[in-house]
Chain A
Amino acid sequence: MVGNPNCGKTTLFNALTGLRQKVGNYPGVTVEKKIGECYSQHGRPMKIIDLPGAYSLAARSPDEAVLRDVLFGRREDTPQPDRIICVLDATNLERNLYLVHQILDLGRPVIVVLNMMDLAVKAGLRIDTHQLATALGVVVISCAAVKGEGLVELKLAMSRSDLPLARHRWDVPAPIAPAVAELQASLSDADAQPPLIARAEALLLLTDFESVRIAGSKPLSARTAAVLATWQQRCAREESNWSGTLIRSRYDKINALCREVLHRTRPQELSGSDRLDAILVHSIWGWLFFGFIMATLFFSIFSLAEYPMNWIDAHIAALSSGIKNILPPGDLRDLLTDGVIGGVGGIVVFLPQILILFFFVGLLESTGYMARAAFLMDRPMSKVGLHGKSFIPLLGSYACAIPGIMATRTIENAKDRLVTILIAPLMSCSARLPVYLLMIATLLPAAALPATWKAGLMLLMYLLGTLGAFGFAWLFKRTLFKSTRPLMIMELPAYQPPRLKEILRQMLERSWLFLKNAGTIILGISIVLWFLTTYPKHPDPQASADAQIAVSFAGQAGHLLEPVIKPLGFDWRIGIGLVTSFAAREVFVSSMGVVFGVQDNAAHALPVRDALRAARWPNGAILFTPLVCITLMVYYVFAMQCMSTVAVVKRETNSWRWPLFQIAYMTGTAWLACFVIYQIGRALGY
């Protein structure tokens, strides 16, 4: 299944395959590989591959390169499809036909699906599908995937074993013809490509600039590469524009076709999207609306989420005390309540906030507003040398840096993509929330101050991270990644009502991932940490909890680290939290619960807060002073404390160099910022 971005391909794919989907990655690249299953009208199972959206086979990003290489049969991991479903946005027939025109070159059985036909009719467009089918010689199906219209017809067509081959005759522009013929012959002989695919690939190779090559795809044979190089040199010498000639020739054909099959029933008028855009990208109203959306987002995360969080909290606490009633006192009981429930429960409680974040991001994406936000943000982003497209991954990173970093794949320019990847983890992700919330709770005496103070402090941390990200982008674009300012071209899709089903599906996927993490990594760390803080046992069995931790393995390690973090106001116990939370930031909270031995009610955030307030330095001074709480929050704003992000950056950049650089610059900045804040704060008498 192929199509332009925003043509409704994913909606159609979901409608056809329902929950029978497998999501993975193409080996060697991080492009998502989605395979679904559905049954033909005769009950035969069929596999559908949802290929990444693209405007053209001339690949400018790894996503598009996967599409190209699968269709040309150059990937070992994916067999060449035996039929191709081309999904088109019927409201924008001409541009969508461009990709179809390239695909028809391949000479494979093709089904053309005109999606969003309902919107096209509404916009006053009449498409003669019969004539289109006759002209192209393929099956054409009109469809409205959102409403489920046309799905039966599509399945019927997919079930046919006698799909016609396209009547797709067009003459290659004369100036390119000799080159195409020679390259086609070489691709047939040396690369064993079938004749039509060889011709299509020759056309593409000769007119493609800076085409993206990806790992895991079969490279060109030496002979073909040599033939290609010769012709490319000749093209450059003669200053011919083969690419422009070919595109024009394709569009000439498409325009002629559209004159036959596309009719306007009434003159073009302003669509609903146009009227909305007049407000939503307006230089004043647009920004006001954008501010309103962002404010709603943060308000929901910080206030609405409280209700489900309290509910989860209460249940975890009940579970913990239930276990205490059943089991006799001893190490096993402590392991279960302090280690397992204390560690994992402290994290699960943040699930509602993460769900709300993903709900909002999904809502903005599926309605088409995300592209408008990127449009608005283009100007501020250009001040630091990036363009508006970088905003989408950065906004996603407020939820989690991992999907954010994966979303950078739509940025064509490699340097801009790398800068965006490097700064994305500076956006305060949802894993920092538990840390911020705990520190704010420790810092501000309960109920003494209005909730606005808490929200204000929290927003300040988000702002600090965002400013940091922009500052580093500015710095990187001026030093490491000097390049001319990127040229941005981005389609703004028509507004659509939110597809709640798809958003819910995504939220479920994300929360499952989060819970799986909590159940495996965080559970493991909590148990290991409990062990490290419990053994070796203090010689005196009556020793206090503090004394016990001091002699434990974790305590010994913390003491080793203390000289490095003491200038920031942190002691060895906080040090244990910093080290364990390198796995994931939220582990800090569970670690504090374990280290400060929250006995009575292990899972509840409030007792952790009280335990922290009671903590003292050996000389009796308060450990968690307001200054230390703020310094600790600032540390988490900047420090790179997430194993999963490191792994994703390694995968996306294909080297260890960038994730290591990222750890160094982020954690270095964190240490320096904390040092300055703490020392100045101390000097001022705080």
Chain B
Amino acid sequence: MSSALHLLPLCQLAAGATARICVINGDDGFAQRLREMGFGEAALVTKISGRTTSLCQVNGTRIALNHDAAMAILVEALPAGVR
């Protein structure tokens, strides 16, 4: 890829958009549990709704994340239509 990735925190992803998870910050235990739930790097996530508390879909599961958790996850938004 020629240009640098444009990363944004999951909480800023628009509702309905799909993104690829790139970086997980936050404490180790939290990151471990996220990855174990299939919410790891390279997974595709679709934001369903939410500004303060985010509702997302990963692998067919709906997962709620609070604002701080959604801030700790950096994603790369994918063009519309990619799923």
- A residues engaging B (CB < 8 A)? 55-56, 58, 60, 91-92, 94-95, 98, 123, 207-210, 243-244, 247-248, 251, 268, 273-274, 277-278, 281-283, 371, 374-375, 378-379, 382, 387-388, 412, 484-492
Contact = CB atoms under 8 A, between A and B. Distances in A.
Contacts of B50: 281
B13 to A, nearest CB: 16
Nearest to B55: A281
B64 A209 contact: no
Given A94-B59, A243-B32, A281-B55, A274 B48 contact: yes
**In this complex, which of B32, B41, B67 has the most chain A Cβ atoms within 10 angstroms of its Cβ?**
B32
Interface of B: 26-41, 48-50, 52-53, 55, 59-69, 72, 83
Given A210-B28, A273-B62, A489-B30, 4 more contacts: A56-B33, A60-B29, A281-B55, A388-B53
Given A375-B53, A378-B53, A379-B53, A277 B26 contact: no
Given A277-B48, A388-B53, A268 B66 contact: no
Nearest to B26: A487
Contact of B61 (A123, A282, A491): A491
A247 B68 contact: no
B34 A92 contact: no
B62 to A, nearest CB: 4
A98 B66 contact: no
Contact of B49 (A55, A273, A281, A412): A281
A488 B69 contact: yes
Given A209-B28, A388-B64, A487-B66, A375 B55 contact: yes
20 contacts: A60-B33, A92-B59, A94-B38, A94-B59, A123-B60, A209-B32, A210-B29, A268-B60, A281-B50, A375-B53, A378-B66, A387-B66, A412-B29, A484-B68, A487-B65, A487-B66, A488-B69, A490-B65, A491-B64, A492-B63
A487 B52 contact: no
A55 B68 contact: no
Contact of A382 (B31, B52, B64): B52
A487 B40 contact: no
Given A95-B59, A251-B40, A378 B49 contact: no
Contact of A95 (B38, B65, B67, B72): B38
B62 A491 contact: yes
B36 A98 contact: yes
A58 B36 contact: yes
Contacts, number: 123
Closest 9 CB pairs of A and B: A488-B66, A487-B69, A492-B62, A378-B53, A209-B28, A56-B36, A247-B35, A209-B29, A95-B38
Contacts of A274: 48, 62
Nearest to B43: A251
Contacts of B37: 55, 95, 489, 491
A489 B69 contact: yes
Contact of A490 (B27, B28, B64): B64
Contacts of B61: 92, 95, 491
A371 B60 contact: no
A118 to B, nearest CB: 16
Given A378-B64, A489-B33, A251 B38 contact: yes
Nearest to B57: A274
A577 B34 CA distance: 51
B62 A382 contact: no
Most-contacted residue by chain A among B33, B60, B64 (CB, 10 A): B64
A412 B65 CA distance: 14
